Amino acid sequence: MTDTTASPVPPSTGLGREIIDIVRTVGVALGIALVLRIIIFQPFTIPSSSMEPGLVTGDYIVVSKLAYGWSRASFPLNPPLFEGRLLGRTARRGDVVVFRLPRDPSQTWIKRVIGLPGDRVQIRGGQVFVNGQPLAQAPIALMQDHDAPDRPVLAIRERAPNGRQYVTYDGGPERPGDDTEVYVVPQGQYFVMGDNRDNSLDSRWPRELGVGLLPAENLVGRAKFVLVSWKPGASILKPWTWANLQFDRLLKPIR
Confirm if 78 and 57 have CB atoms less than 8 A apart.
Answer: no
Q: Rounded to the nearest 5°, which phi and psi values hold at 20?
A: -60, -45
Confirm if 73 and 100 have CB atoms less than 8 A apart.
Answer: yes
Q: Rounded to the nearest 5°, which phi and psi values hold at 205?
A: -105, 145
Of the candidates 183, 229, 252, the one whose C-alpha atom is nearest the C-alpha of residue 49 is: 229
Instruction: Calculate the alpha carbon distances from 32 to 12, 29, 36, 187, 213 in Å.
Output: 30, 5, 6, 36, 35
Rg (CA), the chain: 24
Which amino acids are annotated catalytic? Answer: 50, 111
Report the SS3 class of residue 54.
coil
Instruction: Calculate the alpha carbon distances from 6 to 2, 3, 116 in Å.
Output: 12, 9, 73
